[in-house]
Every structure is written in structure tokens, then in C-alpha cells.
Chains A and B, each alone.
Chain A
Amino acid sequence: MSNTLTKLRYRYWPDHVFGELLQKQWMETAVPLLVLLLTIAFFSSRIDNFISVANLSDTLRQASELGFVVLGMSLVLIVGGIDLSVASVFALCNLTALYCINVLGLPTPAVIALTLLLGAVLGAVNGVLIGYMRMRAFLTTMVTLIVYKAIHDLLNFQLAVAISSVVPDVPAWDFLGNGDFLSIPTVVWVFAIVAIASHIFLTRLRPGWYVMAIGGNRRSAYNIGLPVNRVVAMSYMASGVFAATSAIFYASRLASPGADTGKGLEITVLTAAILGGIRLGGGKGSVTKAVLGTLIILIITNGLLRLATPAGAARLILATILLLAATLDIRWFKNRHKAVQELYVSPSYLELPQSPPTGASSPFALNDRLRAVEQIGLGEVESPEDVILDREDNLYCGSRHGEIIRFFAPDYKRMEVYARIGGQPLGMAFDAGGTLFVCVGGMGLYRVNPDRTVEKVTDETNRSLLSVVDDSRLRLADDLDIAPDGRIFFSEATIRYEMHEWPTDSLEGRGNGRIICYDPRSGKTHTVLRHLIFPNGVVLASDKESIIFAESWNCSIKRHWFAGAKEGTTETVIASLPGYPDNINVSSDGNYWLALMGMRSPAFDLAMRKPAFRRRMSKRLPGDEWLAPNINTGCIVKFNEKGEILDALWDLGGLNHPMITSMREHKGYLYIGGISNNRIGRIKLEGADPEFVSSGRYNV
């Protein structure tokens, strides 16, 4: 009973989603969003009509005005600086705009252009001082704040009367600050467009990446040759332009050349940016955060004003909220990755059938036949996961260093680097033309043309709708085979982990893997089967309409039809193996060779039925003390399409070739690879077809 409950709970409760959600980049924004929702909830419960159309439109109008300045400040914060002068830039631009429209009577576009130009110039002064002259941002902008403010006061003294005495009637100008378009204020439209553009700029465009890179690590950015000075200077200029934009809308809305225009704006803006989660010191921040911060600060101040809170209490509340929100955000920022570490590994319930016996009377009977293996390239190769031979009998294998090594026939004493891939080559297959297709861990499906050029075949597939993890990228392409029509079927062992984290995936025992098909005719890649438990070896079956593949942690072999009468169906060939199956290849007698990379143990099998135990283990113990499947000793078995075991080859003492992940039959010999080996093995097969070549069989 409780077992059933456990099964159901682990089958339907999406444990893995929490860790995956937490890991998402946008979860950094979770705290500001939460704070925003809480403030909205609080004030709408206290104030009637807080969420009315009129009030919302008011709030958004003001939020957008403030938002421009916050965007500018955020940009500067992200690049690793600070701009306190925004308040005075804002005030000066406000005054200029009003003077141009009220006194000079310039047309609206000219007013906008002039004001923006002024903002750019004032920002550029900061930019030159800080970007090119390398002065300190905080001090410099503080002094420019004072200087610009003094200029503003001097001018304001002389211009305010002139400005106040005229009330111009320019509809286009009024439309900026007071107008609506589709009953949403003009300024909100403009801000939305600018914010989206800024978002695209920061996340999708090269200059935006420069900004992020310089903020993240200025020295590295400089050393890789980014134009650090120019980018920094431009950010300050942009900040000035943003402040000017805000001032234009403010001027149009209030037409006020007040003496204390913009007073304390730098504090409000800085507060908004930090509340949104943008960090002082650079490299961390986004447009979303800036917008959230703006909304939070505006809703709090607006709400407190509307509640007619006494000034003292209002300040106390504001300070408390600021400190709480900042504490929360900083704790969150610091501890998120710890939470991810604890939550990401989410073991599931996996009940394996009884392990078949390996006693003397069983088909798996132990023997020492692999002890006679000859060694090829001993000490010269590392991690040959798969081995393959071409029609000229040359032997190929992958290496840990991201290369494909070729050993020359006939004696395989001589070797060379056949191609450099850059990632660990796993499964390999030749097509009829001699092109070598390779699954590369962490990179996807690649091919090495006969002229040795390396090309990417595919590194992405269709994104599944409900997956939280971005499963469109290939993380661990494992083994492949080529169908007669040229389609390539390959396995991706897991979408949740990188190659070196495979033991963690085994601990989960969930169907994290899939079979993917690449169709060279359309150039498209799509996922064929999902939720497979570490799919590994793939081989084309004899009917040429199906593939046979291994599910490693499920200890099973399955068959999937991609064409013919049974198209789309999947059947189990072997339900239970005594070990973890890896690559599968054809044998000369029409059956299949299968590598068992390691043998099951009762303890690990039991653990797979105790997900809570494994979760506890993953939370409380360091990773190197976790249970892991044995892959020290394995064997090679031969099976047929009915699932019968026909033969087994072992190296009991582990002297010569204990660890096996792949094997390939070629002209009467079996060549053996192992991912943790420093050699390739070769053994003569008695009675095998001496002309049999496994590569490029079908698509001649």
C-alpha cells in the first residue's frame, strides 16, 4: 500500500521542477516581483479604488516618467558605476524644455531634440570624466550633481518668471505629458517601447553584452580587447539621455520650473534600482528588475501619500520596506545556488526487475575469454568510448581531449589525430560515403567529412512545451546509427545533466533522456522518444525499419519502429539485464553485440526503490560520497532480436580489459572500447565471418 503511494507520489509529483525553476536566470527577479505583489496587495486592501483605471493610469504615468531615469541609472550600475547627477540633469532638461516651448516657442520636435541633446551632453561630461579620464563614478557624479544643480538654480532664477508668465497652447506638446493613446497614457507607450528595446539591447545585442561584460569583470573585458572606456562613457551619456527623456514628459505634464525640481531624484532612482535587485558594483541587472523596482517604489510612495500617512510614519514605513526587501533580495541572491544544489537532484522511484543470475548454467556464465585481448595504443589513448573501423580497416576512436584518433591498419601501431572536435566524442558511425558521424558530449551531433573537415550536423531539437529546463539544446548526445534513407537516430542520455554528471543522473533514475532523429533531407531535428532512462547505445535493427536501443539505468533493451507497419511503436527486447547496457552493434551472424559497462548490485537496486533515502543522501552528503553505479567491471554479450542471450565474454580478474562501453566486429575480430580505459582491445572471434564489415551496411 505505502509502496503504491510512494510510486504514485514519485510518478506524478514533479519534484524535479522546483530545482529546475530555481535554476532559471529569471528566478533572480523572484524577490522583487514578490515584493511588488505584496505591496500591491497591501495597498489595494487599504485604499478604495487603488486598482481603478484612473488611478492605475496615474500610477503608470508617473512610473513611466521615473522609469526612464531608473533605466539610465541601471545601465550605469550594470556597467559598474553610479550616476548621482541624474537629478540635476533632469532638472536642467526640464528647465530647458520649458524655456524652449514657453519662451522661445519652438516646435515640439525641436524642443524634444534640443532637450535630448542637452541630456546627452551633460551625460557625456560624466562619460568623458569617468570613462576616459578614469575618475571615480561616485565622487564625479556627485560633484556634477552639485555643479549642474547650481547652473540650474542660476538659470531658474532668471528664467522661471519668463516661463511662468506664458502658458503655451501646443497640442502636440500637451499630448506628451497628458495625452492618451488607446486610453493608455502616451508616456506609458513610449516607456514600454524603450524598455523592450533596452531589454533587447542588453540581452541580444553585442554592445549590450559589452556592457554586461565590463560590469561583470572590467579587467577581463579590457584584456579581451573590449572598448572599455568608450562603452563606459556611452553608458553615462545614455543615462543623461534617459534623464532628459523623463524631463520632457515631466515638463509637458506639470510645466513647472520649480526650484527643487528633481531634488532627491537620485536617491529615489537608486532606491528603485536596488529594490529591483540591481547590484552595486556592476554586472548584475536587467531591464525587468529596473521596471519592477520603479513600480515598487512608486506604489509605496503613492500609497503612503494616499493613506495620508503622517510624514514621520511614512518615512519609517518606507525605510522598513526598503531594508526588508534588500535583505530578502540579498539573502536570496546569496543562497539561491545553495537551494538549487539541494533541490535540483530529485530522485524518483525506479523498481527494477530481479537481476538475472550469472551463474554457470545461465547464459551470462562468467568466463575469462577477454583475458586474451590484444592491446592497441596502450597509454596513447584516453577514454575511447566508441571504436569504429573504415573500409580500409583503419581503426578510429575518440579521446578525452576532444580528438578523433586514427590507428593505421594492419598492425595499428601507428596513430594520428584524425580530426579535432573540441568535445568528447562518444558514439560514432560511418555512412556509405566514408563520412564519420560522431555524437559529441556537450556539443551535439557532428560529422567528419572524408577530407577531415569537421562540421556541426545539429545541436538542437524541438523544445518541448512543458519542460522547464531548456531541452532544445543537446547536452549529452550519446550514440547513433544511420537509417537507409540517411536519417540519423541518436540518443541523448539526459537533458538535466552535463556529461561528467552522469552518476547524478543515475541517482535520479528518472526518464531524463530521449531518442532524437536528424533528417538530412530537411535539415531538421526532432525528438522521437522522450522520458527514457539514460538511453545509450543505438543500432539499426535488421528489418531496417526500427532501431534497438539500450536504457542504461533501466537495465533494459528496447526496440522502436520508425517506419513500416509498426511505425511509432516501442517494444521491450530485454526487460532485465544483470548490468547497465551501453553501446549496441551488429554482429556478423545477424545478432547484436551489447556492452555492459558495469554490473548491478543489490544495494544500488534497493536504493533505486528508496527515493527519499537518495534525496536525503544528496542533500546531506557531499557529492563524492553519494552512491554511484558500479562501472568497474562489465562484459560483452551477444543477443538476438527475441531478447535471448547467446554469448557472454568476461575478463574476470580485470587484468586486461575489464571496463567496456563499446565493441565493433570487423573482419573476424571484435574491437573493444571503454570510456575509462587507456587502450583499445582486440580479440579474434572464432567462427565469425572474416569479410564482415559493420560500417555503412545499409545505405550503400
Chain B
Amino acid sequence: MSGTELNGGGQAEAVAKAGPAGGASFLKGVAFDQQMIVLLLFAAIFLAFSLLLPGFFTVGNLLTLMRTVSVLGILGLGMAVVVIGRGIDLSMIASLAVPSAVVLMLASKDYGIATSLLCGVSLAVAIGVLNGFLVAYAEIPSLFTTLAVGIGIAGIGQSGLFEYEIVPWPAQLAAISWIGQGSLLGIPYSVLAFIAAAIIVGIFMRKTRLGAFIYASGDNPNAARIAGIPVRPILMLQYIIAGLVAMFAGLVLSASSSSMDTRIFNLTWIYDVILVVVLGGIGLSGGRGGVINVIIGTLLIGTIVNGMTIMNVSFEMQNLIKGVVLLAALSIDSIVNPRNEETAQQGDI
């Protein structure tokens, strides 16, 4: 995830430019980087479960698996945009819960779907702007900014905006409840939502100028600034995208479970989101990786959780096993692609 590996996120062109990238390569032409490690790990676990667990490798279960992690995956996409821009957004859970709960609340009071959605979107954008402004202009580290903003947004959610902290999915929104419920050609809509979000984010990051700017400013903000990229507005854009993606995930989640539990902010979900992103090979130091990494990370987590639920492993044991697997993935990467003092970036945690 550091300078040694230049080819995160299917960046074939980066590999081509860098030639045989740094780090040990077992297989000729295949960089044995974290993305690869996680992919192999995923394949191994998937294969093991398929062979050993009756009922795992069925279409139905695989769709269930995808459905379980689709919201996590969508959140991961938003987080990926920020992480690629060398930031982190801990307020995503708050901006998942509150704007979508606002939509549900307004809709239940007969404000109409469009108005409700518009209000929710405005709130999500406002959160993104606030985050972006504080990071870009006040220059507070993103870790701290988004932490504090997240607390604040959760506070707004608790200030009597909603009657209860669990906001039910109102009948007025029945017209759009399909985004979390039901399925198309047997594929649940929530999975389709994840796929759609992945495609949109992927095209945005890879094919548009703004996406390229985000990579550039994440890779080396100073160079990007010198090159004339408006680094600060680009930073704000990242957080706005993250806010919007989070709200979308919130709508899918609340449609799916027929309610929005705003207490979700209290949970440690955000760590899962970061894991999905970073495990897939998107470096926290920015500028590396892409949508494919999020998908790989999501699939790994989803497979582990699904398999263990089938095996009726307890919640705590699931967490333990999940953690150990993740630790193993990180260790293998560190052994195969050792970082040294020359490649490590200062202040890169």
C-alpha cells in the first residue's frame, strides 16, 4: 500500500509505466500485492466453504451473501473516493443515518417523495461541504474533522428531529421501496444498487477529469497544486460524494429493513467500511486503488460472515475469526512487500 506497489486497482497503465514494480514478485508479470493477496485469500476461503459447507455454493445463498454486504459495499465506494484523495471519512455512518431518516420522516408527513429526497440530498451535500471545508480550508486532519462532524450530525439526529431514534419506512415511500426490497430477474435490488453505484463511481474515477484530479491530488497534493489542479475544491468534492453515497446506502438500508435505525452511529460499523476499502488494496496514503479493490474487500468480508453464519458461529467468534483473517492478510502483504525507511512516507499512519 506504500510506494512499493504501484499497481493498485487494476492500474495496468501504472504498472506499464513503472516497469517491474518494486516488491517481490513470485509470478512473472503478476505483482503479488495486497489486492492479489486478498483476492487469493478470498478465492481460498470461497473454495473451502463451497467444498465443505453444504448449501454455501448455491445461487440463492450467493445472492444472500451479496445482499448482506451490499450496503457495506456501497459505503465502501464512497469511502474509497475519500481515501484515494488521501483522506478518511468517519462521518459516513452519521450521513448514512440522518439524511435518509430525514427523507423517511418528511415523506411520512406527506411532503412528497421529490421534496423529501431533495431535502435529504441537500443535507448530505451540506455535510460533505462542511467536512470538505474544514479539511481543505481550515486544514484540520480529516480523521479528526470527520470524527467531530459525525458526532455533530448524530447530535442533530437526536435533537428531536425524529419522534423515535428508529424511523420507520413510511407507506408514502412505497413507490421507491424497491431499492431495498424485492429483486429483478432473481437478483435483489440492493445488490443491483451496489453494482450500479460501483459502475457510476468507477466511471467517475477512471474516465472523468474530476476523477483524475482526485487521484492526482491524493497521490501528491503539492504536485497537483503546482500543476494547477484546484486541490481544495477537489477535496470538498470528495466529501460531498462520500456524503451522497452514504445517503444512498442509507436509503437502500432503510428500504431493506423497513426502518432507519439512527442509533447505528453508535456502532463500530465505520471500521468495517474502512476495512473493506483498505483491505482491498486502497492505500491510506492516497492516489492508489479503485472500485475493484472495494469489491474484492467486500466479497472477502461477505464470504467470511456468510460462511460463519451458516456454521452458526457466534457473533463474537465471527468477529474474532474475521479479525484474525484480516490480520493475516495485512501481515502477508507486509512480508511480501516489505516497507522500508526509503519508501515509507513521513506522517503516513
Whether chain A touches chain B in the assembled complex (some CB pair under 8 Å): yes
Spell out A's residues near B (CB within 8 Å).
80-82, 129, 133-140, 142-147, 149-151, 153-154, 157, 217-219, 222-223, 228, 267, 270-271, 274, 280-282, 310-320, 322-323, 326-327, 330-331, 334
Report whether B155 and A136 are in contact in the complex, using a CB–CB cutoff of 8 Å.
no
Main secondary structure of the interface of A (DSSP, over half): helix
Point out the residue from B159, B323, B330 that lies within 8 Å of A316, measured CB to CB: B159
Interface membership of B274, Cβ < 8 A: yes
Among B144, B157, B319, B344, point to the contact of A322 (Cβ < 8 A).
B144
Cβ-neighbour of B158 out of A133, A228, A315 (below 8 A): A315
Partner of A134, one of B158, B316, B334: B334
B134 at the interface (CB under 8 A from A): yes
Contact with A along B258-269 (1 / 0, CB 8 A): 000000000010
Given contacts A138-B349, A319-B152, contact A327 B138 (CB under 8 A): yes
Q: Are B155 and A311 in contact (CB under 8 A)?
A: yes
Cα separation A150 to B338 with both chains bound (whole Å): 29
Determine the chain A residues whose CB is within 8 A of the CB of B334 once the complex forms.
Answer: 129, 133-135
Contact indicator B139/A281 (Cβ below 8 Å): no
Q: How far in angstroms is the closest Cβ of chain B from A323?
A: 5
Q: How far is the CB of A32 from chain B (nearest CB, A)?
A: 14
Q: In the complex where A145-B271, A280-B143, A310-B159 touch, is A133 in contact with B322 (Cβ < 8 A)?
A: no
A267 to B148, CA, bound (A): 10
How far apart are the CA atoms of A390 and B120 in the complex, in Å?
89
CB pair B274 A147 closer than 8 Å: no
CB pairs A–B below 8 angstroms (14 shown): A80-B346, A139-B278, A149-B319, A218-B341, A218-B344, A310-B159, A315-B154, A316-B152, A318-B152, A319-B149, A322-B144, A322-B151, A326-B138, A326-B144
Q: Which residues of A contact B134 (CB under 8 A)?
A: 323, 327
Contact A133 B145 (CB under 8 A): no
Partner of B319, one of A137, A150, A274: A150
**Which chain B residue lies CB-closest to A152?**
B316
CB proximity of A699 to chain B, nearest CB, Å: 56
For B140, the chain A residues whose CB sits under 8 A away are 323, 326-327, 330
Q: For A146, give the chain B residue with the smallest CB separation.
A: B323
Choose one: A137, A154, A319; the contact of B148 (CB below 8 Å): A319
A219 lies within 8 A of B341 (CB): yes
* Bound complex: CA A157 to CA B317 (Å): 12
A211→B112 CA distance, assembly (Å) = 59
Q: Which of A137, A267, A312 has the most CB of B within 10 A?
A: A312
The reply on B327 being an interface residue by CB < 8 A is yes
- The residue on A at minimum CB distance from B321 is A150
**Cβ contact of A312, chosen from B160, B268, B341, B342, cutoff 8 A:** B160
20 additional contacts (CB under 8 A) given A146-B268, A280-B144, A315-B152: A129-B331, A147-B323, A153-B315, A154-B314, A219-B342, A223-B341, A228-B341, A267-B147, A270-B144, A271-B148, A274-B144, A281-B348, A282-B346, A312-B161, A315-B154, A322-B151, A323-B145, A323-B149, A326-B148, A327-B140
Name the contact of B349 in the complex, choosing from A81, A313, A322, A331 (C-beta under 8 A). Answer: A81
Question: Is B284 located at the chain interface by the 8 A CB criterion?
Answer: yes
The yes or no answer to B246 lying at the interface (CB within 8 A) is no
Instruction: Give the distance in Å from the alpha carbon of A134 to the alpha carbon of B315 in the complex.
Output: 31
Contact B274 A133 (CB under 8 A): no
Is B20 interfacial (CB 8 A cutoff)?
A: no
Contact at B346–A322, with CB atoms within 8 Å? no
Write out the residue numbers on chain A whose beta carbons fall within 8 Å of the beta carbon of B12.
none
* C-alpha spacing A224/B271, complex, angstroms: 37
Q: Quick one: which of B317-343 are within 8 Å of A by CB?
A: 317-320, 322-324, 326-327, 330-331, 334-335, 338-342
Give bound CA distance, A135 to B326, whole Å.
Answer: 12
Return the chain A residue nearest B147 by Cβ: A267
Given contacts A274-B144, A282-B347, A330-B138, contact A135 B338 (CB under 8 A): no
Q: For A151, what are the chain B residues with a Cβ–Cβ distance below 8 Å?
A: 320
Complex Cα gap A147–B268 (Å)? 13
Q: Is B275 an interface residue (CB 8 A)?
A: yes
Question: When A139-B284, A280-B144 are in contact, do A80 and B347 touch as well, CB less than 8 Å?
Answer: yes
Sorted from nearest, which 5 A-B pairs have the closest CB atoms? A315-B155, A281-B347, A319-B152, A312-B158, A312-B159
Which of B152, B157, B349 touches A280 (beta carbons < 8 Å)?
Answer: B349
Known A144-B327, A327-B134; contact A271-B155, beta-carbon cutoff 8 A = no
Q: CB distance B323 to A134 under 8 Å?
A: no
B166 at interface, CB cutoff 8 A: no
Residues of B near A135 (CB, < 8 A) are 330-331, 334
User: CA A310 – CA B165 in complex, angstroms?
Assistant: 14
Contacts of B157 in A (CB 8 A): 312
Q: Would you give the shortest CB distance from A141 to chain B, in whole angstroms?
A: 9
Tell me the complex Cα distance, A513–B107, Å: 77
Q: Are A157 and B316 in contact (CB under 8 A)?
A: yes
**Set of chain B residues within 8 Å of A217, measured between Cβ atoms:** 346
Contact with A147, one of B314, B327, B338, B349 (Cβ below 8 angstroms):
B327
B156 contacts the other chain (CB 8 A)? yes
A150→B159 CA distance, assembly (Å)? 33
Q: Does B60 contact A (CB under 8 A)?
A: no
Known: A150-B317, A219-B342, A327-B138. A316 touches B331 (CB 8 A): no
Task: Tell me the smallest distance from the CB of B118 to a CB of chain A, in Å.
Answer: 24
A311 and B331 contact, CB distance less than 8 A: no
Distance, CA A317 to CA B155, complexed state (A): 9
Please name the residue on chain B nearest to A283 by beta carbon. B347
Nearest CB in chain B to that of A320: its residue:
B152
A316 to B156, CA, bound (A): 7
A312 to B157, CA, bound (A): 7
User: What mask results when residues 293 to 311 of chain B are scored 1 for a CB within 8 Å of chain A, else 0?
Assistant: 0000000000000000000
Q: How far is the CA of A219 from the CA of B155 in the complex (A)?
A: 42
Which of chain B's residues has its CB closest to A133's CB? B334
Is B141 an interface residue, CB under 8 A from the partner? yes
- Whether the Cβ atoms of B323 and A280 lie closer than 8 Å is no
Residues of B within 8 A of A222 (CB): 341
Name the distance in Å between A92's Cβ and chain B's nearest Cβ. 13
Q: Does B1 contact A (CB under 8 A)?
A: yes
* With known contacts A320-B152, A334-B139, A313–B159 Cβ distance under 8 A: yes
Cβ–Cβ < 8 Å partners of A315 in chain B: 151-152, 154-155, 158
Query: Are B139 and A219 interface neighbours, CB within 8 A?
Result: no
Contact assessment for B158 and A146 in the assembled complex, using a CB-CB cutoff below 8 Å: no
A222 to chain B, nearest CB (A): 4
